[in-house]
Structure 1
Amino acid sequence: MQPVIDHIEITVKDLNEAITFYDYFLPLVGFNLKNKAQAFIASHDKQVVEYTHPNFAIALTSPRESLKNEQVHRRRPGALHHLAFKAEKRADVDFIYHQLLAFNANIVAPPQLYPEYHQNYYAVFFKDPDGIKLEVVCQKGV
Protein backbone atom coordinates (compact mmCIF):
# COMPACT_ATOMS: atom_id res chain seq x y z
CA MET A 1 0.00 0.00 0.00
CA GLN A 2 1.18 3.52 -0.78
CA PRO A 3 0.70 6.37 1.73
CA VAL A 4 -1.65 8.44 -0.43
CA ILE A 5 -4.42 10.63 1.00
CA ASP A 6 -7.80 9.97 -0.62
CA HIS A 7 -9.74 12.85 0.93
CA ILE A 8 -9.81 15.36 3.76
CA GLU A 9 -13.00 16.68 5.33
CA ILE A 10 -12.92 19.97 7.23
CA THR A 11 -15.76 21.20 9.43
CA VAL A 12 -16.30 24.95 9.09
CA LYS A 13 -18.44 27.43 11.01
CA ASP A 14 -20.00 29.18 8.01
CA LEU A 15 -20.23 26.92 4.99
CA ASN A 16 -21.13 29.72 2.56
CA GLU A 17 -18.17 31.86 3.64
CA ALA A 18 -15.84 28.85 3.35
CA ILE A 19 -17.18 28.01 -0.11
CA THR A 20 -16.41 31.54 -1.31
CA PHE A 21 -12.82 31.21 -0.07
CA TYR A 22 -12.18 27.66 -1.34
CA ASP A 23 -13.86 28.35 -4.70
CA TYR A 24 -11.20 31.05 -5.14
CA PHE A 25 -8.20 29.25 -3.65
CA LEU A 26 -8.50 25.64 -4.82
CA PRO A 27 -8.34 26.41 -8.57
CA LEU A 28 -5.01 28.15 -7.87
CA VAL A 29 -3.59 24.80 -6.75
CA GLY A 30 -5.11 22.73 -9.55
CA PHE A 31 -8.71 21.93 -8.60
CA ASN A 32 -11.42 22.34 -11.25
CA LEU A 33 -14.69 23.76 -9.92
CA LYS A 34 -16.57 21.59 -12.42
CA ASN A 35 -15.66 18.74 -10.06
CA LYS A 36 -17.42 20.30 -7.07
CA ALA A 37 -20.47 18.55 -5.61
CA GLN A 38 -22.85 19.36 -2.76
CA ALA A 39 -25.06 17.12 -0.66
CA PHE A 40 -27.03 17.02 2.57
CA ILE A 41 -26.40 13.84 4.52
CA ALA A 42 -29.44 13.52 6.77
CA SER A 43 -28.10 10.60 8.80
CA HIS A 44 -25.17 12.80 9.89
CA ASP A 45 -27.11 16.09 9.94
CA LYS A 46 -24.59 17.88 7.78
CA GLN A 47 -24.25 19.75 4.53
CA VAL A 48 -21.13 18.79 2.54
CA VAL A 49 -19.36 20.45 -0.37
CA GLU A 50 -16.67 18.30 -1.97
CA TYR A 51 -13.93 19.43 -4.36
CA THR A 52 -12.51 16.43 -6.19
CA HIS A 53 -9.21 16.14 -7.99
CA PRO A 54 -7.51 13.01 -9.37
CA ASN A 55 -4.94 13.22 -6.55
CA PHE A 56 -7.37 13.71 -3.65
CA ALA A 57 -10.55 15.44 -2.55
CA ILE A 58 -11.28 18.15 -0.01
CA ALA A 59 -14.70 18.36 1.57
CA LEU A 60 -16.16 21.18 3.65
CA THR A 61 -18.90 20.28 6.08
CA SER A 62 -21.28 22.19 8.29
CA PRO A 63 -20.84 21.83 12.06
CA ARG A 64 -23.02 19.79 14.34
CA GLU A 65 -25.64 22.11 15.80
CA SER A 66 -24.45 21.57 19.40
CA LEU A 67 -20.86 22.48 18.42
CA LYS A 68 -21.45 25.39 16.03
CA ASN A 69 -20.18 28.03 18.48
CA GLU A 70 -16.92 26.26 19.31
CA GLN A 71 -13.74 28.15 18.44
CA VAL A 72 -11.30 26.64 15.96
CA HIS A 73 -7.78 26.26 17.32
CA ARG A 74 -5.13 24.28 15.50
CA ARG A 75 -3.32 23.32 18.71
CA ARG A 76 -6.30 21.50 20.25
CA PRO A 77 -5.99 17.72 20.35
CA GLY A 78 -7.59 16.23 17.26
CA ALA A 79 -7.44 19.49 15.31
CA LEU A 80 -5.90 19.98 11.89
CA HIS A 81 -2.70 21.93 12.54
CA HIS A 82 -2.32 23.05 8.93
CA LEU A 83 -2.68 21.81 5.38
CA ALA A 84 0.16 22.28 2.89
CA PHE A 85 -0.10 22.20 -0.89
CA LYS A 86 2.97 21.33 -2.96
CA ALA A 87 4.19 23.79 -5.58
CA GLU A 88 6.60 22.79 -8.33
CA LYS A 89 8.39 26.15 -8.45
CA ARG A 90 8.98 29.06 -6.12
CA ALA A 91 7.35 31.26 -8.75
CA ASP A 92 4.13 29.27 -8.17
CA VAL A 93 4.27 30.15 -4.47
CA ASP A 94 4.79 33.82 -5.34
CA PHE A 95 1.93 33.77 -7.87
CA ILE A 96 -0.50 32.25 -5.38
CA TYR A 97 0.59 34.75 -2.74
CA HIS A 98 -0.26 37.66 -5.07
CA GLN A 99 -3.60 36.08 -5.92
CA LEU A 100 -4.37 35.70 -2.21
CA LEU A 101 -3.46 39.35 -1.62
CA ALA A 102 -5.88 40.38 -4.37
CA PHE A 103 -8.57 38.33 -2.61
CA ASN A 104 -7.74 39.99 0.75
CA ALA A 105 -6.88 36.63 2.27
CA ASN A 106 -5.49 36.50 5.79
CA ILE A 107 -1.73 36.18 5.11
CA VAL A 108 0.23 34.83 8.08
CA ALA A 109 3.65 35.05 6.44
CA PRO A 110 4.57 36.09 2.89
CA PRO A 111 6.70 33.81 0.70
CA GLN A 112 10.15 33.25 2.10
CA LEU A 113 12.75 30.61 2.82
CA TYR A 114 12.40 28.66 6.06
CA PRO A 115 15.89 27.24 6.65
CA GLU A 116 14.76 25.90 10.03
CA TYR A 117 12.80 23.27 8.04
CA HIS A 118 15.52 22.82 5.38
CA GLN A 119 17.58 24.99 3.05
CA ASN A 120 15.11 24.92 0.11
CA TYR A 121 11.83 25.22 2.03
CA TYR A 122 10.03 28.18 0.41
CA ALA A 123 6.46 28.81 1.50
CA VAL A 124 3.58 31.20 2.05
CA PHE A 125 1.26 30.72 5.04
CA PHE A 126 -2.31 32.01 5.25
CA LYS A 127 -5.63 31.23 6.92
CA ASP A 128 -9.08 30.40 5.66
CA PRO A 129 -12.16 32.20 7.07
CA ASP A 130 -12.25 29.80 10.05
CA GLY A 131 -8.63 30.46 10.91
CA ILE A 132 -7.44 27.12 9.54
CA LYS A 133 -3.80 27.55 8.59
CA LEU A 134 -2.93 26.71 4.98
CA GLU A 135 0.40 26.70 3.17
CA VAL A 136 1.74 26.53 -0.35
CA VAL A 137 5.30 25.22 -0.39
CA CYS A 138 8.08 24.52 -2.86
CA GLN A 139 10.86 22.35 -1.49
CA LYS A 140 13.09 22.50 -4.55
CA GLY A 141 16.12 24.74 -5.04
CA VAL A 142 15.97 27.84 -7.23
Structure 2
Amino acid sequence: MAYKYGVGISHLEFWVKDLEESLGFYSRLFPLIGWYELNRTSFSCGVHELYFKEVPLQLHDSLGVRHICFHATSREMVEQVGEWLQSINADIIRGPQAMPDYSDAYYTVDFRDPNGFVLEVAYTPDIKL
Protein backbone atom coordinates (compact mmCIF):
# COMPACT_ATOMS: atom_id res chain seq x y z
CA MET A 1 0.00 0.00 0.00
CA ALA A 2 1.38 3.41 -0.98
CA TYR A 3 1.81 6.02 1.71
CA LYS A 4 -0.79 8.80 1.41
CA TYR A 5 1.63 11.73 1.90
CA GLY A 6 4.93 12.61 0.33
CA VAL A 7 7.93 14.08 2.09
CA GLY A 8 7.42 17.30 4.00
CA ILE A 9 6.24 18.54 7.36
CA SER A 10 3.57 16.44 9.04
CA HIS A 11 2.52 18.87 11.75
CA LEU A 12 3.53 21.84 13.87
CA GLU A 13 2.78 22.07 17.58
CA PHE A 14 2.29 25.51 19.11
CA TRP A 15 2.78 25.89 22.85
CA VAL A 16 0.53 28.72 23.97
CA LYS A 17 -0.01 30.59 27.22
CA ASP A 18 -3.82 30.67 26.97
CA LEU A 19 -5.42 27.90 24.92
CA GLU A 20 -8.88 29.49 24.73
CA GLU A 21 -7.50 32.86 23.57
CA SER A 22 -5.35 31.17 20.93
CA LEU A 23 -8.19 28.96 19.69
CA GLY A 24 -10.44 32.02 19.44
CA PHE A 25 -7.84 33.79 17.29
CA TYR A 26 -6.96 30.86 15.00
CA SER A 27 -10.53 29.63 14.60
CA ARG A 28 -11.25 33.00 12.98
CA LEU A 29 -7.97 33.36 11.03
CA PHE A 30 -7.78 29.89 9.49
CA PRO A 31 -11.11 29.88 7.61
CA LEU A 32 -9.98 33.13 5.94
CA ILE A 33 -6.97 31.35 4.45
CA GLY A 34 -8.53 27.97 3.61
CA TRP A 35 -7.63 25.96 6.71
CA TYR A 36 -10.25 23.92 8.57
CA GLU A 37 -10.76 22.49 12.04
CA LEU A 38 -9.82 18.83 12.57
CA ASN A 39 -10.84 18.88 16.20
CA ARG A 40 -11.05 21.49 18.95
CA THR A 41 -7.28 22.09 19.10
CA SER A 42 -6.10 21.03 15.61
CA PHE A 43 -6.38 22.61 12.18
CA SER A 44 -5.32 21.51 8.69
CA CYS A 45 -5.00 22.73 5.13
CA GLY A 46 -5.34 19.16 3.84
CA VAL A 47 -1.59 18.53 3.75
CA HIS A 48 -0.26 19.85 7.07
CA GLU A 49 -1.61 19.94 10.60
CA LEU A 50 -1.11 22.61 13.23
CA TYR A 51 -2.21 22.04 16.79
CA PHE A 52 -2.16 23.92 20.06
CA LYS A 53 -1.23 22.90 23.57
CA GLU A 54 -1.43 25.11 26.64
CA VAL A 55 1.86 25.08 28.51
CA PRO A 56 2.37 27.00 31.76
CA LEU A 57 5.62 28.64 30.63
CA GLN A 58 6.55 32.25 30.05
CA LEU A 59 7.54 33.27 26.52
CA HIS A 60 11.30 33.60 26.18
CA ASP A 61 13.35 34.97 23.32
CA SER A 62 15.28 32.11 21.80
CA LEU A 63 16.80 30.87 18.61
CA GLY A 64 14.40 29.01 16.39
CA VAL A 65 11.69 29.68 13.85
CA ARG A 66 11.29 33.43 13.23
CA HIS A 67 7.84 33.20 11.69
CA ILE A 68 5.43 30.96 9.81
CA CYS A 69 4.13 32.07 6.43
CA PHE A 70 0.79 30.75 5.20
CA HIS A 71 0.01 30.66 1.47
CA ALA A 72 -2.76 32.95 0.25
CA THR A 73 -4.44 32.11 -3.04
CA SER A 74 -5.00 35.77 -3.99
CA ARG A 75 -4.18 39.35 -3.07
CA GLU A 76 -7.81 39.64 -1.99
CA MET A 77 -7.27 36.90 0.59
CA VAL A 78 -4.34 38.88 2.05
CA GLU A 79 -6.53 42.02 2.09
CA GLN A 80 -9.31 40.11 3.86
CA VAL A 81 -6.89 38.90 6.54
CA GLY A 82 -5.55 42.45 6.93
CA GLU A 83 -9.06 43.83 7.36
CA TRP A 84 -9.89 41.18 9.96
CA LEU A 85 -6.65 41.89 11.85
CA GLN A 86 -7.44 45.62 11.87
CA SER A 87 -10.98 44.91 13.11
CA ILE A 88 -9.64 43.07 16.17
CA ASN A 89 -6.79 45.56 16.75
CA ALA A 90 -4.18 42.86 16.20
CA ASP A 91 -0.48 43.68 16.31
CA ILE A 92 0.19 44.17 12.59
CA ILE A 93 3.90 44.36 11.77
CA ARG A 94 3.48 45.37 8.13
CA GLY A 95 0.94 45.28 5.35
CA PRO A 96 -1.03 44.35 3.62
CA GLN A 97 1.55 45.51 1.11
CA ALA A 98 3.57 44.55 -1.94
CA MET A 99 7.14 43.40 -1.43
CA PRO A 100 8.87 44.01 -4.80
CA ASP A 101 12.27 43.24 -3.26
CA TYR A 102 11.07 39.64 -2.84
CA SER A 103 9.28 39.29 -6.21
CA ASP A 104 7.07 41.34 -8.50
CA ALA A 105 3.82 39.79 -7.26
CA TYR A 106 4.66 39.14 -3.57
CA TYR A 107 1.85 40.59 -1.43
CA THR A 108 1.85 40.12 2.33
CA VAL A 109 0.61 40.95 5.79
CA ASP A 110 2.79 40.16 8.82
CA PHE A 111 1.39 40.14 12.36
CA ARG A 112 1.61 38.67 15.85
CA ASP A 113 -0.84 36.19 17.32
CA PRO A 114 -2.01 36.51 20.96
CA ASN A 115 1.19 34.77 22.13
CA GLY A 116 3.51 37.09 20.24
CA PHE A 117 4.29 34.55 17.50
CA VAL A 118 5.07 36.23 14.19
CA LEU A 119 2.85 35.03 11.34
CA GLU A 120 2.60 36.00 7.68
CA VAL A 121 -0.08 35.47 5.07
CA ALA A 122 1.37 36.01 1.61
CA TYR A 123 0.27 35.74 -1.98
CA THR A 124 3.33 34.54 -3.88
CA PRO A 125 2.27 33.37 -7.35
CA ASP A 126 5.73 33.66 -8.90
CA ILE A 127 7.75 32.02 -6.12
CA LYS A 128 9.15 28.59 -6.94
CA LEU A 129 9.05 26.07 -4.11
TM bucket by the smaller chain? Answer: 0.7 to 0.9
Alignment of 1:40-51 (within 5 A): 49-51=41-43
2:110 is aligned with 1:106:
no
Which digits, 9 at most, give the CA deviation of each residue in 1:4-47, with x for residues without a partner?
322111111111211111111111111233x223xxxxxxxxxx
Which digits, 9 at most, give the CA deviation of each residue in 1:62-112, with x for residues without a partner?
22x4xx12x243xx22x3211111112111111111122122222111211
TM-score normalised per structure 1: 0.75
Q: Is the 8 A contact 1:36 1:52 kept in 2?
A: no
Q: Is the 8 A contact 1:72 1:132 kept in 2?
A: no
Structure 1 distance, partners of 2:90, 2:105, is 25
Equivalent residue in structure 1 for 2:22, among 6, 18, 23: 18
Q: Give me the CA root mean square deviation.
A: 1.9
Name structure 1 gaps, 5 residues minimum.
Answer: 38-48
Structure 1 distance, partners of 2:23, 2:42, is 10
Structure having the higher helix fraction is 1
Given the superposition, is the C-alpha separation of residues 116 and 3 from structure 1 closer, same or farther in structure 2, using an over 3 Å criterion?
farther
2:71 is aligned with 1:86:
yes
TM-score normalised per structure 2: 0.82
Q: Following TM superposition, where does structure 1 have runs of at least 4 consecutive aligned residues deviating by more than 3 angstroms?
A: none
Name structure 2 gaps, 5 residues minimum.
Answer: none
Equivalent residue in structure 1 for 2:39, among 36, 57, 60: 36
Amino acid in structure 1 at the alignment position of 2:15: T
Q: Is the 8 A contact 1:9 1:60 kept in 2?
A: yes
Structure 2 distance, partners of 1:3, 1:125, is 27
Given the superposition, is the C-alpha separation of residues 109 and 120 from structure 1 closer, same or farther in structure 2, using an over 3 Å criterion?
same
2:59 is aligned with 1:59:
no
User: May I ask how many residue pairs the two structures share in their alignment?
Assistant: 122
